[in-house]
Chains A and B, each alone.
Chain A
Amino acid sequence: MTKRKITRVLIANRGEIALRILRACRQMGIEAVVAYSEADRTSRAVMVADEAICIGPAAAKLSYLSAPAIISAARATGCDAIHPGYGFLSENAAFAEAAAAHGITFIGPSAAVLERFESKAGVRALLAKHGLPTIPGSEGVVADIEAARAAAKKIGYPVILKASAGGGGRGMRVVTSETELANLFPLCAQEAQAAFGDGSLYLEKYLTDTHHVEVQIAVDDAGTALHFGERDCSVQRRHQKLVEESPSPALTTKVREDFLARAAKAIGAAGYRNLGTLEFLVGPDGKPYFIEINCRIQVEHPVSEMVTGVDLVALQIALARGDTMPMTQAQIERRGHAIEFRLTAEDPANEFRPQAGEITLFRSPSGPWVRFDSHLYAGYEVPPYYDSLLAKLIVWGPTRDEAIARSRAALREVEIDGVATTRDFFLGLLETPAFLNGSATTGMLDASGTAAILAAAPKVSA
């Protein structure tokens, strides 16, 4: 096994995840340098860091998405590793390869592994071969409209057309008939080409109103693969996750344990390395079917950390260094229930319109089993250039009901003024029967709508 030196890490990301990575580095005795754009000069990660370096102007293309700027910053500050966080360049094989060419360790899968898991259609086929059930769909990429028509006819409408190079919920179209397919296929291919530089499409049976579950996995260089339980991310709006919890209320114990073990085994055998997440949709038979992989640390990783007690960012760094897996599957004990709420600068009463501006008041919640990951402070200016995540509230309880009760209390303590946030939406969600009884599905926000959830929110004095 190759040992790679990691003594000084460049954190090439922003917001709460930059702080999260900084904390992991400090706990491990690793120096860290925060890379920031001009728009993030006053961000909390820059203030808290021992050292920070400006990599470019506000536009992400010229800063957080600029591989030369980031690698050059790593060299200028003497860093031997780069942590890309999530989003931006976190799953970019060319970036990982360029970093390696400059003798810098990319904290994530190697370029070769990222390339192997780049094509969504290819990964579906690869993991099916290693024993993971997948949603019925085309055999890999559909070459043309004729192939798409034949595949759709075989699996039955509705189907979902997906860009093979897509991600983050983008490049997808639901198709309900053959006539629609004729119209949408060329359009979707064109969009995929424009957005991802690759027009390849594949299709799957479209499951509406289902549960979205995912497995947190980690694999060392030798191929030892472990799982850290599942997360249920069914509360979504337009394929964007709002709430995540572990364990999933949608799985029976038997289905859960079988699917977790199979996921870890398949991903190790398929050649994946470092930290990752396998996403599934639960079929009408109550069993999860694989849809896609995320080759990075995820926003919702704290849910699994709260349940297992394992620091996943520290583990990710250790695995990137070439460490042998420091634990066995039997040592990973999953206890109780954890829920995460993504507090964003979005106005739920106004189509979740993104907000920007100065935070005039900021009070964070605390108390037993309450974790609040945030880069906010009073006086902080939320820039308009990046995603709208302000904070993640993660609450643990011995049971789901206790976690929910603690979540209500903690959410009431959150006070953020200056921009509209999603806090009241979550307070309403915690009074909504479908969420309380664990039957919330991916279609929930389309069906009952946001208005009903907001109306259920108790009035909280602020």
Chain B
Amino acid sequence: MSSEQSRLDPRAESEAEELGVLIDALLPVLVDRLKETGLGEIEVERNGATVRVRAEATPASALHAREQAVSAPVASAAAPVVNDRRHAIRSTAVGFVTLASDVHVGAKIAKGALVASIDVLGVPNEVRAEHGGIVGALRCTTGDPVEYGQELFFVERIGEGGR
């Protein structure tokens, strides 16, 4: 269904060929996507070969001040229109966040995976991935205070395998 997947050669046999295909076919698409989505980093893995493109990082503040509180809904409302493949993982509670150890930029996460926990007065509240995909820009780090609904990080959905 995705353009980058259709360009992958399913008959590639060697690892070198695989890597070549990845670079030639995927890189321009990934770079475009990076610009378009504002993701910090995109990583794609196939048969052991990995391509990772990274934009210059912009630090995300934790708990927001007024400006962000007001602008947030505008951004989230507009997001699906801009790119329906980019999915925000949001906090399910107000408290302090702990990201799962396997959540880092470029990591692949499965749908339904436990990706973070929000500590509410000592009680952990699970955050699970609604969609699988590649972890893009992180919007928080472990220990940060977070509000209900806050974007914790983004997931870039890739093809059917990530669903």
- Give chain A's interface residues, CB within 8 Å of chain B: 38, 41-42, 46-47, 49-57, 63, 68-69, 71-73, 75-77, 102
Judging by beta carbons under 8 Å apart, are A50 and B66 in contact? yes
Judging by beta carbons under 8 Å apart, are A55 and B147 in contact? yes
Judging by beta carbons under 8 Å apart, are A53 and B66 in contact? no
Q: How far is the CA of A57 from the CA of B91 in the complex (A)?
A: 12
- Interface size on B, as a range, is 20 to 34
Q: How far is the CA of A415 from the CA of B94 in the complex (A)?
A: 38
Judging by beta carbons under 8 Å apart, are B69 and A72 in contact? no
Minimum C-beta distance from B85 to chain A (A)? 25
Minimum C-beta distance from B117 to chain A (A)? 13
Given contacts A42-B73, A50-B66, A69-B94, 17 further A-B contacts (CB under 8 A): A38-B148, A47-B66, A52-B66, A53-B69, A53-B147, A56-B93, A56-B148, A68-B123, A69-B120, A69-B148, A72-B121, A73-B147, A75-B145, A76-B94, A76-B145, A76-B147, A77-B63
Which of B96, B146, B147 is most buried by chain A, counting CB atoms within 10 A of its CB? B147
Interface residue SS majority, chain A? mixed
In the complex, B28 has a CB within 8 A of chain A: no
Closest chain A residue, CB of each to CB of B73: A41
Chain A contacts for B72, CB-based, 8 A: 41
Could you say which of B69, B120, B150 contacts A46, with CB atoms under 8 Å apart?
B69
Q: How far is the CA of A68 from the CA of B93 in the complex (A)?
A: 10
Could you say which of A42, A52, A72, A77 contacts B120, with CB atoms under 8 Å apart?
A72
Judging by beta carbons under 8 Å apart, are B65 and A51 in contact? yes
In the complex, B95 has a CB within 8 A of chain A: yes
Judging by beta carbons under 8 Å apart, are A76 and B96 in contact? yes
Judging by beta carbons under 8 Å apart, are B149 and A72 in contact? no
Chain A contacts for B66, CB-based, 8 A: 46-47, 49-52
Judging by beta carbons under 8 Å apart, are B121 and A38 in contact? no
Which of B63, B65, B94, B120 is most buried by chain A, counting CB atoms within 10 A of its CB? B94
Q: How far is the CA of A375 from the CA of B96 in the complex (A)?
A: 30
Closest chain B residue, CB of each to CB of A46: B69
In the complex, B70 has a CB within 8 A of chain A: yes
Chain B 85-98, CB-CB to A under 8 Å as 1, else 0, gives: 00000000111100
Minimum C-beta distance from A69 to chain B (A)? 5
Could you say which of B65, B94, B121, B123 contacts A55, with CB atoms under 8 Å apart?
B94
Judging by beta carbons under 8 Å apart, are B65 and A72 in contact? no
Closest chain A residue, CB of each to CB of B144: A76
Minimum C-beta distance from A371 to chain B (A)? 25
Judging by beta carbons under 8 Å apart, are A73 and B70 in contact? no
Q: How far is the CA of A38 from the CA of B63 in the complex (A)?
A: 16
Q: How far is the CA of A50 from the CA of B94 in the complex (A)?
A: 18
Could you say which of B63, B73, B94 contacts A72, with CB atoms under 8 Å apart?
B94
Judging by beta carbons under 8 Å apart, are B150 and A54 in contact? yes
Chain B contacts for A56, CB-based, 8 A: 93-94, 148
Q: How far is the CA of A403 from the CA of B62 in the complex (A)?
A: 50
Chain A contacts for B150, CB-based, 8 A: 54
Which of B69, B72, B95, B96 is most buried by chain A, counting CB atoms within 10 A of its CB? B69
Judging by beta carbons under 8 Å apart, are B93 and A72 in contact? yes
Q: How far is the CA of A65 from the CA of B109 in the complex (A)?
A: 35
Closest chain A residue, CB of each to CB of B62: A76
Q: Give 23 CB contacts A-B under 8 Å.
A: A41-B73, A46-B66, A51-B63, A52-B66, A53-B69, A54-B69, A54-B94, A54-B148, A55-B147, A55-B148, A56-B93, A56-B148, A68-B120, A68-B123, A69-B93, A72-B121, A73-B94, A75-B121, A76-B63, A76-B94, A76-B96, A76-B147, A77-B145
Q: How far is the CA of A240 from the CA of B79 in the complex (A)?
A: 44
Could you say which of A47, A68, A102 contacts B70, with CB atoms under 8 Å apart?
A47
Chain A contacts for B148, CB-based, 8 A: 38, 54-57, 63, 69
